[in-house]
Amino acid sequence: MADLDTLFQPKSIAIVGASTNPEKIGHSIVRNLVDSGYRGKIYPVNPKAVEILGLRCYPNISSLPEPVDVAVVSVPSSLVLGVAEECGRRGTKNLVVITAGFKEIGQEGLRLEKELVQICKRYGMRMVGPNCLGIMDTHTPLNASFARGFPLKGEIAFISQSGALCGSILDWSLDKGVGFSKFISLGNKADLNEADFIAYAAQDESSRVIVCYIEDVANGEQFLRAAREASKKTPVIILKSGTSQAGAQAASSHTGALAGSDKAYDTAFKQAGVLRAKSMTELFDLAIAFATQPIPRGDGVAIVTNSGGPGIIATDAVEDAGLRMTRFSKDTIDDLRSNLPPESNIYNPIDIIGDADPERYRFALEKALSDPGVDSVVVLLTPTAVLDPLETARVIKDVRSRWPNKPLAAAYMGGISIGEGVHELFESRIPTYTFPEPAIRAIAGLTRYGQFLRRPSEKELTFEDVDADRVRQIFEAVKRDNRVVLLGSETAQVAAAYGIKVAETRLARSPREAADLAEAMGYPVVMKVASPMILHKTDVGGVKVGLHNAQEVESAYVDILDNVHRYMRKVEVYGVEVQKMMPKGVELIVGMTRDVQFGPLLAFGLGGIYVNLLQDVSFRLADGLSPTMIREMIEETKAAVLLRGFRGEKARDLDAVMDTVARVAQLVRDFPEIAEMEINPLVAYVSGVSALDVKITLA
């Protein structure tokens, strides 16, 4: 992990390109540093100025009295390489390159950026940016940016790939009263990227939650490692944009990197324990809750409300979010019944009705928080003539201080009349929202993270009885043949070498050979055209099933070749595959596509010809795939219901299905050259499974 102490707690900072002109960025940076209360040395560098904001100016880096920990660079892009070189020679530890005009402008910029990284590597410097807003740390304090303003001190570390977004969030947070520990604008991520900062912030005592906005990850593997480690200690919440087709197109165009598929991001986040926010609103709704609340022990929620409607809305939201409305203990119910007005609802949600005063809130909240089945509490308030929102806020604050171990979120529903109360709650570190749903979502986020923390750590499932050498031989032969797509007879051998139960499949190059193979296998057989160029064999008349004798096999051979050439005149055909015909069963699909960012991504679901229609598919990264993860992967699909035996059908061999998934995972982990793989169908029987069609594409 990168040691970034000297970046966030530097003893000295130089600003290269510091300016006396208050309208210039080079001036704002110096002013921000001074205004932030930074206590180290500040060295403005500008050959033409004598002093800036009362600080002595130096003509260049070499003339500084000491090597600096950080040089903030804000000179024209044509001068950046020279400055970086000079910084390196003078022993500078970190660069924050504000200057734009690098990768984002195209080839010439990309070349400059690569050279810049080379210079940093040569001198062992780390770099933020280029093309970034800068960095801030409220605990140091340090504002090495040209942002307008400086965040309030807090516990949220914010990392953003968009500099502009940094600016607006900062502005918003000052109005809202939300504090930050660190504020990091990633820029082009030429050297330091989100993974470095996530790893650093995770072990930073002043950050309780890490919040990111990203458009892509610089390096999937590094990101997974960092996020996995970080999540064990500090929650990581990420908003990743470019999820829609058009959005992904915009993101690719913006970052110049092929976005890994959104499914891969979703899966990677889930497996690394990262919480994914779907919107800006959710990102900060969650951030505020994580910064202030403990992690709940379970998924039981209690709601306290002074009005029926919002209570029901909140209850719906609880179910939607996968949480559970707690059934109170008898003691709690008895207590509530004897102390609340008879019209109240004493079951969850607790409705203390419209004439409730702050003390009734106190009572209900105390009862909810002390019930053993309650893990989190959401308090709802609608303004009434008899209720003082500010006084109620004070009561909530008081109750909270006596039950600090269960998370509490508030929805103060209204505007003008509740403003002071909301402010009081914020000050008291109680996450407060205008409506119930975001409050519930925040609790759901906390709960999911708690579940992640409680997951037992389990090892990847691996097998010894695999023959990697055999697979390697087959792949080499395919490459020698100048192909990337394997024939069915080849994939069957590959699968078999890894212990995957596959229907016997052999390649015939003449009608006679096909008949001989069929005789040896035993009837009935299936025949399929063997050509790497044909993706959908059935569509071109390339499949014949249920062949019962040599004569049928021989004539099927010629029929298939004729059909195929009729549809695809120029197709290269290697022959026809003869396969033993297997009985019917539950048809599944086990697939893998190698994601450009996160590596092998496995898919599991209902197979056969309805795959695309039903879209009943779940995903996992093959790396670190444990038995529990495979079981969960299967459980997420409707296929699980069929496997258990739907409507009186016999249960299928779940263990054999899991075994196949694990073996596919191991195969694609062992052979990075497998770019795509698909078993469809994998037929599950009462006992055992059989892979009928296996496709493999090499990279």
By CB under 8 A, residue 596 contacts other proteins = yes
**Cα–Cα distance for residue pair 234/310, rounded to 1 Å:** 33
By CB under 8 A, residue 673 contacts other proteins = no
By CB under 8 A, residue 615 contacts other proteins = no
Q: Which stretch binds other proteins (CB under 8 A): 3-11, 129-137, 223-231, 258-266?
A: 258-266
Beta carbons within 8 Å of 86's beta carbon, 6+ residues apart: 60, 61, 62
Token readout for 252 is: 């690719």
Q: Which stretch binds other proteins (CB under 8 A): 129-137, 255-263, 333-341, 626-634?
A: 255-263
By CB under 8 A, residue 570 contacts other proteins = yes
Pairing of strands 236-240, 350-351: unpaired
By CB under 8 A, residue 35 contacts other proteins = no
Q: Is 646 exposed, middle or buried (0-12, 13-18, 19+ CB in 10 A)?
A: exposed
CB 102 within 8 A of CB 141: no
Q: Which is nearer to other proteins, 101 or 294 (CB)?
A: 101
User: What is the smallest separation between the CB atom of 562 and other proteins, expressed in angstroms?
Assistant: 10
**Cα–Cα distance for residue pair 562/505, rounded to 1 Å:** 21
- Amino acid in the structure at residue 429: R
β-partners of residue 179 are 152
User: What is the smallest separation between the CB atom of 76 and other proteins, expressed in angstroms?
Assistant: 19
- Amino acid in the structure at residue 363: F
User: What is the smallest separation between the CB atom of 336 and other proteins, expressed in angstroms?
Assistant: 52
User: What is the smallest separation between the CB atom of 484 and other proteins, expressed in angstroms?
Assistant: 6
3-state secondary structure 473-525: HHHHHHHHCCCCECCHHHHHHHHHHCCCCECCEEEECCHHHHHHHHHHHCCCE
DSSP annotation of 49:
-
The alpha carbon of residue 551 and the mean position of all alpha carbons in its chain are separated, in whole angstroms, by 56
- Out of 484, 521, 581, 654, the residue judged to bind other proteins by CB under 8 A: 484
Q: Which is nearer to other proteins, 425 or 556 (CB)?
A: 556
CB atoms within 10 A of CB 301: 31
By CB under 8 A, residue 279 contacts other proteins = no
Q: Of 436, 413, 398, give the one whose Cα is nearest residue 303.
A: 436
Q: Which stretch binds other proteins (CB under 8 A): 136-144, 332-340, 457-465, 480-488?
A: 480-488
- Out of 279, 338, 457, 482, the residue judged to bind other proteins by CB under 8 A: 482
CB atoms within 10 A of CB 12: 19
Residues touching other proteins: how many (CB under 8 A)? Answer: 39
By CB under 8 A, residue 475 contacts other proteins = no
By CB under 8 A, residue 512 contacts other proteins = no
Radius of gyration of the chain from its Cα atoms, rounded to whole angstroms: 31
User: What is the smallest separation between the CB atom of 613 and other proteins, expressed in angstroms?
Assistant: 15
Q: Which is nearer to other proteins, 256 or 645 (CB)?
A: 256
By CB under 8 A, residue 109 contacts other proteins = yes
By CB under 8 A, residue 266 contacts other proteins = no
Q: Is 262 exposed, middle or buried (0-12, 13-18, 19+ CB in 10 A)?
A: middle
First to last CA, the chain: 31
**Cα–Cα distance for residue pair 404/365, rounded to 1 Å:** 13
For helices 511-521 and 550-567, angle between their N-to-C axes, nearest 10 degrees = 130
By CB under 8 A, residue 672 contacts other proteins = no
- Out of 3, 54, 253, 650, the residue judged to bind other proteins by CB under 8 A: 253
Pairing of strands 142-145, 134-137: antiparallel
- Out of 532, 542, 624, 681, the residue judged to bind other proteins by CB under 8 A: 532
Q: Which is nearer to other proteins, 420 or 481 (CB)?
A: 481
User: What is the smallest separation between the CB atom of 159 and other proteins, expressed in angstroms?
Assistant: 22
- Out of 48, 330, 536, 569, the residue judged to bind other proteins by CB under 8 A: 569
- Amino acid in the structure at residue 28: S
Q: Footprint of other proteins on this chain (CB under 8 A)?
A: 103-107, 109-110, 245, 248-249, 252-259, 261, 481-482, 484-485, 509, 532, 535, 565, 569-570, 572-575, 593, 596, 675-676, 697, 699
